Amino acid sequence: MKTRMTTLFVRLAAGAVILAGCANPEDGGGDVTAPVLSAGLVTNTASKDGTTATVKFTSTGAGTCYIVVYPAAEDAPESGAQIESGYGLADIRDTSAAGSDSNAVCLSGLIRGTPYRAHVTVKDRAGIYSAVWSSDEFTPVSGSMDIASADGTAAVVNFTPEEAGACYVAVYLSGAAAPADGAAVEAVCIGGDTGDVKVYTENAEANVPVSVDISGLTAFSAYKAYVTVKNEAGSYSFTPLDYYGPGGGLIFYVSTSGFGGCHYLEAAPADLPGTYQWGGYGTSCDTGTAIGTGAANTAALAACEHGTPSYGSGLHEAARACAAYDGGGCDDWFLPGKEELNLMYTNLKQQGLGGFSRRSYWSSSEIAGNSAWYQSFASGSQDYYSKDSDCSVRAVRAF
């Protein structure tokens, strides 16, 4: 047997919710059947730099799931115990829980264009492993659908194909019945534009970026693009492309009616480095919790700082870090409010998008002078912490 080259390992332990790494654990133990990839789910999606993928599968029992990702040519692990024992050799780790429902895990640190396979096992509370489930081969690719007008009626699809062939692009409203594979994308494109489905076709060269201007979209709506390349042998690739904002972040909320003069929320591509206190222990500021309050909260926190707190920092560190962030050349990032943070968890983390950790994240909404709202990105629960506690931070902007 070959010596395994461990490129990426993700360990998943107790505490997440459905589609957030893995699903909520059920009560009780018992044997766990082998996780199975559900029909219609994909094992990879594109990212701007081609270093991430999303592995989706179902588990018929609850417990702890372990995932290891090897180059496709390497041997698959022979048992669940073998997957778990390799944890100490990993460069990249994460934790979550498995339940008897759909699960999604966002993987990062991959190499664009490299074929991989993901190998999954679930260990129930009695310590019994499921059989190892191995995904089909998948190759991380780079691509995105970028909003290109203030009202969202125009966008640009950017994609770098791995092979030469006929390139087909279909753009759908988010939530609409989407094509299941590359052949379905081709069929839609051959049929032409139909209502809110916009299509595009041309020949593509291997590793040569393709940029497609899309117009005529419905204003202030969320979209997703699907790309396939049909090579000379007649085989199809299939790549969903997510919707990105002007700041280079994933769009996670769209409001037709708007909020505070804006219609979209986008999340920064990654957490800000390290962890931060909320800060200002003992100082009560005027903050809100509703969608659209994050920017005003962040500004209010900057205006009500003091230098001699009872505990911790007198500065509102988490809000300051977001306000100082300038990703995508934008200077209007902020610490999300309580409900905005929950939208980010629901629409990104639970879908295996955004590369979030399982840690707790600060909101910009306070409870009182000594505490503020946070959200666990392991369980999805919201609660309050002392303002001198340390949490992760993900900046957000509205446009």
Pair (257, 345) in one structural domain: yes
On the question of pLDDT at 384 being above 60, the answer is yes
Closest alpha carbon to 223 in 294, 277, 156: 156
According to the model, what pLDDT value does residue 84 have? 84
Q: How confident is the model at residue 370 (pLDDT cuts 50, 70, 90)?
A: very high
- Does residue 38 sit in the same domain as residue 166? no
Count CA atoms within 13 Å of residue 345 on its CB side.
27
Judgement on whether residues 275 and 337 belong to the same structural domain of the protein: yes
- Measured distance between the N- and C-terminal CA atoms of the chain, rounded to whole angstroms: 54
Same domain (yes/no): 310, 348: yes
| Residues 3 and 92 reside in one and the same domain | yes
The angle formed by the CA atoms of residues 224, 15 and 40, to the nearest 5 degrees, is 35
pLDDT confidence of residue 184: 96
Is residue 127 scored above 80 in pLDDT? yes
Q: How far is CA 192 from the centre of its chain?
A: 31
CA distance 315 to 309: 9
Of 122, 141, 160, the one marking the end of a domain is 141
Based on the fold, state whether residues 175 and 284 are members of the same structural domain.
no
Q: Across the chain, how many H-helices and E-strands are there?
A: 5, 22
* Alpha helix segments (H runs only) across 350-397: none
Tell me, yes or no, whether 49 and 94 share the same domain: yes
Question: Residue 56 contacts by C-beta under 8 Å, 6 or more apart in sequence?
Answer: 37, 38, 41, 42, 43, 102, 103, 104, 105, 352
Residue 229 β-bridge partners: 167
Q: How many residues does the chain have?
A: 399
**123 and 153: one domain?**
no
In this predicted structure, the answer to whether residue 10 has a pLDDT above a threshold of 60 is: no
Longest dimension (CA), the chain: 70
Q: What percent of the chain shows pLDDT beyond 90? A: 52
Residue 212: which residues within 8 A CB-CB, separation 6 or more? Answer: 156, 157, 158, 159, 169, 200
> Are residues 47 and 31 part of one domain?
yes
Boundaries of domain holding 178: 143-244
Asked if residue 133 and residue 39 are part of one domain, the reply reads yes
Last residue of a domain, one of 244, 268, 288: 244
Strands 276-277 and 64-71: unpaired
The reply to whether 100 and 177 lie within a common domain is no
| Tokens found for residue 69 | 């990702």
Domain boundary residue among 214, 244, 274?
244
79-109 pLDDT, tens digit each: 888 888 765 444 445 545 655 566 777 777 8
The answer to whether residues 175 and 109 belong to one domain is no
| Confidence category of residue 9, pLDDT binned at 50, 70, 90 | very low
* CA-wise closest residue to 35 among 86, 83, 87: 83
Give the 3-state secondary structure percentages of the chain, helix then strand then coil, rounded to 5: 15, 35, 55
Concatenating the DSSP letter of every residue in 297-358 gives HHHHHHHS--S--SSS-SS-HHHHHHHH--GGG----BPPPHHHHHHHHHHTGGGT-TT--S
pLDDT tens digits, 161-183: 989 999 999 999 988 888 999 99
- What letter would DSSP give residue 181? S
Q: What is the count of structural domains for the chain?
A: 3
Model confidence pLDDT, tens digit, residues 67-81: 888 888 888 888 888
Domain CATH number, residue 150:
2.60.40.10
